[in-house]
Amino acid sequence: MDAFEGIHSVRISSSPPPMTSSGRAYEVLKSGRSGIAVYSSAVFFGTPSEAEKKGCVVGRLVDLDPEPEPGLEVIGQAGPTMEIDQGVHSRLRSSSLQIREKEIREKGSEILSEQLDAAKKELKLKDKECERLSQVRNQLEQELEELTASLFEEAHRMVREANVKQAGAEKQLKEAQGKIDVLQAEVTALKSLVLTSTPSAPNRQLHPQLKLPVGGHTRNKSLSSGSLSPPGKPESPSLPVQPVIKEDREMDSVLYAEFLMWKEHPSLDRSSALMNRIYREDIAPCLSFTRSELAQLVQSAVENNSLTIEPVAMSALPMVKASAMECGGPKKCALSGVSRLCRHRIKLGDKGNYYYISPSSRARITAVCNFFTYIRYIQQGLVRHRAEQMFWEVMRLRKEMSVAKLGFYLTEES
């Protein structure tokens, strides 16, 4: 609705004199945009005026912008009623425009205020969402850094463990190769013992009970006294009976006490009484050769388990390896300097030199290697025998070293 709707009092008159019958007061009702309606009542204003008679009917809607009737010309003369209507219309229109402009401004301000408030609220929500997303991003970046660091640490740990395992495996491989070499030497020695023992000519070292006592044969008294020849037949000579000889042994209390003390903390160190005695009485004399410098190198290689003994094929004797310098020769021992047929050669550790050795030198080195191998087995806990059995095995190995250093050794008969 328009703000000017209502009842307004106007005077329809062409002169300012007081209100008479020719200048009456009318009530003008502004109704929307259609125009104005003029009302008059006999109770308030008396009888109708001439304006009513001329066409301004009370209660009828008056059009403010009448269209000219066809055939009629507007000469420019207007009566008092038209002047009043035009003035009222202009004032009402200007006031309506001002109020409407004010209302539009107020409504626009309200709408803009509401939009601004809504934009501020939305901006706050977006700021909170951005802050939350920033926290999530920071958390993800931190977790990614921690995960990357843990992955790198795990990878380094796995590499270290792999390197340690590889080093341990290589060490075990070297030890196993050394043990295999020693075992192969032992097997070769045992084969030589077995091959030299035949039913027609048994090996006296493997079968000591077959050794005959000095003084000739003995007579079987049971056969000579209990068996008589039949009459008329000559008495058959009795067969000689060989006594059974058994090797006996007796434990040395001093050596056994030294062995028990060493067994508590087994090692190859010479600080113990047992190892000091064995080095002095067995190892040093067994590895004592004419070439003392080379003998010391051989002993160090045996102690470090880095000595290699390999057979030399007779067909390959004239051949010389380009990658290794061979010392001695197929017919001269590099340790003793004696001219002998050398069927084996040794290599000290990773060095490229090969040394030809005679059978006697090989037997002495093999005896010492067997002793050190058994001592290492005890040290590593691989021997589960009783202390007494272990002691007698050590004594047997010492016996082999003593026999070898005296020049006795076994050979294969061709």
Please state, in angstroms and rounded to a whole number, the distance separating the CA atoms of residues 230 and 79.
204
The pair of three-digit structure tokens given for residue 309, joined into one six-digit string? 């003994």
Please state, in angstroms and rounded to a whole number, the distance separating the CA atoms of residues 368 and 158.
42
Half-sphere exposure of 272 (CA within 13 A, CB side): 17
Residues 6+ apart with CB under 8 A from 410: 189, 192, 193, 196, 363
Question: CB atoms < 10 A from the CB of 258, how many?
Answer: 19
Residues 6+ apart with CB under 8 A from 382: none
* pLDDT of residue 327 exceeding 70: no
Q: What is the pLDDT of residue 246?
A: 82
The pair of three-digit structure tokens given for residue 106, joined into one six-digit string? 């107020």
* pLDDT of residue 188 exceeding 70: yes
208 vs 141, more confident: 141
Instruction: Break the chain into its structural domains and give their ranges.
Output: 93-195, 253-312+326-406
At 323, is the pLDDT very low, low, confident or very high (cuts 50, 70, 90)?
very low
* pLDDT of residue 191 exceeding 90: no
Helices (H), 265-328: 273-278, 284-286, 292-303
Question: CB atoms < 10 A from the CB of 118, how many?
Answer: 10
- Report whether 209 contacts 245 (CB < 8 A): yes
The 3-class SS string of 241-277 reads: CCCCCCCCCCCCHHHHHHHHHHHHCCCCCCCCHHHHH
Out of 198-212, 256-270, 299-313, 371-385, least confident range: 198-212
Please state, in angstroms and rounded to a whole number, the distance separating the CA atoms of residues 279 and 401.
11
Mean pLDDT within 2-23:
45
User: How big is the CA angle at 366 (ends 361 and 371), to the nearest 5 degrees?
Assistant: 135
Q: What is the pLDDT of residue 177?
A: 85
* pLDDT of residue 158 exceeding 90: yes
Please state, in angstroms and rounded to a whole number, the distance separating the CA atoms of residues 298 and 182.
15
Helices (H), 69-195: 80-195
Question: What percent of the chain lies above the pLDDT cut of 90?
Answer: 38
Pairing verdict, β 325-327 and 353-357: parallel
Residues 6+ apart with CB under 8 A from 331: 339, 340, 341, 342
Residues 6+ apart with CB under 8 A from 123: none
With tokens 């200048």, the residue in question is 23
Alpha carbon distances (Å) from 134 to 119, 124, 247: 22, 15, 94
Instruction: Please state the pTM of the whole predicted model.
Output: 0.43
Summarize pLDDT for 239-285 with one digit per residue, the tens. 566 777 888 889 999 999 999 999 999 999 999 999 999 999 999 99
Virtual torsion, Cα 339, 364, 289, 411, nearest 10 deg: -10
Half-sphere exposure of 397 (CA within 13 A, CB side): 20
Mean pLDDT within 305-324:
64
Q: What is the pLDDT of residue 136?
A: 94
Residues 6+ apart with CB under 8 A from 99: 3, 4
Element (H, E) at 7: strand 6-11
Q: What is the pLDDT of residue 67?
A: 53
The pair of three-digit structure tokens given for residue 220, joined into one six-digit string? 């079987």
With tokens 């050190």, the residue in question is 372
How many secondary structure helices (H) and strands (E) does the chain include? 10, 8
Summarize pLDDT for 363-391 with one digit per residue, the tens. 999 999 999 999 999 998 888 889 999 99
The whole-chain average pLDDT of the chain stands at 74
Residue 378: burial class (beta carbons within 10 Å; 0-12, 13-18, 19+): middle
β-strand partners of 356: 345
Mean pLDDT within 303-329:
65
Element (H, E) at 62: strand 61-62
Q: What is the pLDDT of residue 25?
A: 45
Summarize pLDDT for 15-74 with one digit per residue, the tens. 444 444 444 444 444 444 444 444 444 444 445 555 444 444 444 444 445 555 454 444
Please state, in angstroms and rounded to a whole number, the distance separating the CA atoms of residues 29 and 7.
4
The pair of three-digit structure tokens given for residue 102, joined into one six-digit string? 């004010």
Virtual torsion, Cα 397, 400, 405, 411, nearest 10 deg: -140
At 126, is the pLDDT very low, low, confident or very high (cuts 50, 70, 90)?
very high
The 3-state DSSP class for residue 154 equals helix
Summarize pLDDT for 61-107 with one digit per residue, the tens. 444 455 554 544 444 444 555 666 677 777 777 888 888 888 888 88
